[in-house]
Structure 1
Amino acid sequence: METVVSPSAIPTVSISDLPKDRVALLDVREDDEWAAGHAPGAKHIPLGELPERVSEIAELTDGPVYVVCRSGGRSARAAAWLNASGWDAVNVEGGMKSWHAEGRDVVGQPGAEPEIL
């Protein structure tokens, strides 16, 4: 995954501008981050596995896929790679930290308080 794109060339959306319903959300964080807390309904594919599992995105949507990580760095890389590969991908600015700060729902392990790692 060697796509290098200027950050300003990557489509980006803030959490406040992200629709609350029917959003195809792809979380590219690592397994432990996902387990600790993630957006309900998101698809989890760690960044390092994305090239091998990219076909799973078709299950999410035939429209744009919104890519999220912890704070926006990994998701920007993933969105750039996806766009270069023919997908319609948008980076979620501020990642799950902003998601949580905006009061959006977060789920985690059963019986544990969800947190953003």
Structure 2
Amino acid sequence: MVNPGEVPTASVSDLPSQDLVLLDVREPDEWAAGHAPEAVHIPLGELPARAAELAELPDDKPLYVVCRSGGRSARAAMWLNAAGIADAINVAGGMKSWHTEGRPLVGDREGVPPEVL
């Protein structure tokens, strides 16, 4: 088991502004409320069963993993790295920091502005 302190981590301000490969591991209701426009959504609990989908993502760039505040994404990044599936980096502060930093947010709920649950 990898020590959580050993999980590669980046702050939102350190993320590339273009060609960002972002995996959102939050639950469907959190995703629908607000998410990064280009993110791929695979809830943490579904990650092992859907790991093959990650093979379709570019493998020449790191995979940034995000949740609401950084806890679930740290576990996901740890698992992805340990399993050799991706060069995964946890996004510190999660979507809360994403939103605070003014990064774009889109939602799936009609007539409701996007928000981070």
Instruction: Give the TM-score normalised by structure 1.
Output: 0.94
Distance in 1 between the 2:10 and 2:111 partners?
32
List runs of 5+ in structure 2 lacking aligned partners.
none
Report Cα offsets for 1:2-42 as digits up to 9, x if no partner: xx421221000000001011111000000000000000010
Instruction: Give the TM-score normalised by structure 2.
Output: 0.94
In structure 2, give the amino acid aligned to 1:44: H
Are residue 19 (structure 1) and residue 16 (structure 2) matched?
A: yes
Report Cα offsets for 1:38-73 as digits up to 9, x if no partner: 000100000000000011112221131100000000
What is the alpha-carbon root mean square deviation over aligned residues? 0.9
1:111 to partner: Cα distance: 2.5
List runs of 5+ in structure 1 lacking aligned partners.
none
Deviation above 3 Å: which 4+ runs of structure 1?
none
Q: Could you tell me which residue of structure 2 aligns to residue 57 of structure 1?
A: 54
Are residue 99 (structure 1) and residue 101 (structure 2) matched?
A: no
In structure 1, give the amino acid aligned to 2:19: R
Distance in 2 between the 1:57 and 1:28 partners?
12
Distance in 1 between the 2:2 and 2:72 partners?
13
In structure 1, give the amino acid aligned to 2:45: G
Question: What is the aligned length?
Answer: 114
Identity %: 69
In structure 2, give the amino acid aligned to 1:113: P
